[in-house]
């Protein structure tokens, strides 16, 4: 999440409005990082149920992307949008939220190609781009920023016997409603005789 913030000017001291699409593990980290860099953050989700979580993590505003009135209220307000959605979706929904000269950066790996309307791109010089994991220097900068502002991922340690349960939390109804990352404790998992036969 740090790499696109740096590449698209969010580390240069100029205040921006940054949209974060998808309020899960990546999205909540994006909110925290953008807020720590001094920006207004628009959290964007298909579910109104994510608003409290997004604002708790530092979002200034919230947009429900399935609600036309909510989209209208935030029309052309974002200088930069970081899109963490990895499921197939319509990117055009988010293009209206981009300000003139704004960029939406694809971070989630959706496998189906996007069909994009050229009109908003041409009329307002909007851009679509992508980003991947940064190199060593940007990783170091990200860690320094996190240390300075006490930014931590929201993690829960589980054993291997809880994998099915964790999967249900991520993809079930509400879809990672707490924005938690699940980390498997391998040592404890190997000690669990009910799960690991000897």
Q: Please, which residues have CB within 8 angstroms of residue 177's CB and are 6 or more apart in sequence?
A: 49, 50, 53, 169
| 41 and 122 inside one domain | yes
What residues make up the domain containing 179? 155-191
Of the CA atoms within 13 Å of residue 197, those in its CB half-sphere come to 0
Q: Is residue 31 part of a domain?
A: yes
Q: Is residue 30 part of a domain?
A: yes
Read off the CATH number of the domain in which 44 is found.
Answer: 3.40.50.720
Q: Is residue 196 part of a domain?
A: no
Distance CA 169, CA 110 (A): 20
Looking only at the bridges linking them, the beta strands covering 78-83 and 40-45 are unpaired
| 177 and 143 inside one domain | no
Q: Is residue 197 part of a domain?
A: no
Angle between helices 25-36 and 136-149 (to 10 degrees): 70
Query: For residue range 57-75, what is the model confidence (pLDDT) as tens digits?
Result: 999 999 999 999 999 999 9
Query: For residue range 136-178, what is the model confidence (pLDDT) as tens digits?
Result: 999 999 999 999 999 999 899 999 999 998 888 887 665 667 7
| 84 and 130 inside one domain | yes
Query: For residue range 95-143, what is the model confidence (pLDDT) as tens digits?
Result: 999 999 999 999 998 889 999 999 989 999 999 999 988 889 999 999 9
Question: How many domains does the structure of the chain reveal?
Answer: 2
For the whole prediction, is pTM greater than 0.75? Answer: yes
């Amino acid at each position: 999440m740090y790499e696109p913030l740096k590449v698209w000017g969010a580390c240069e001291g100029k205040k921006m409005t940054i949209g974060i699409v998808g309020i899960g593990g990546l999205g909540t980290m994006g909110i925290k990082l953008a807020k720590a860099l001094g920006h207004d953050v628009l959290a964007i989700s298909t579910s109104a149920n994510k608003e409290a979580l997004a604002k708790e993590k530092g979002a200034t505003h919230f947009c429900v992307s399935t609600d036309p009135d909510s989209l209208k209220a935030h029309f052309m307000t974002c200088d930069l949008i970081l899109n963490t959605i990895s499921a197939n979706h319509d990117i055009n929904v988010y293009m209206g939220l981009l300000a003139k000269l704004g960029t939406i950066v694809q971070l989630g790996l959706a496998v189906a190609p996007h069909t994009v309307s050229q009109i908003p791109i041409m009329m307002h010089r909007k851009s679509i781009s992508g980003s991947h994991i940064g190199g060593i220097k940007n990783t170091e900068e990200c860690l320094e920023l996190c240390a300075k502002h006490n930014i931590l991922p929201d993690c829960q340690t589980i054993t291997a016997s809880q994998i099915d349960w964790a999967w249900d939390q991520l993809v079930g109804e509400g879809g990672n409603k707490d924005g938690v990352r699940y980390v498997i404790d391998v040592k404890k998992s190997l000690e669990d005789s009910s799960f690991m036969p000897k």
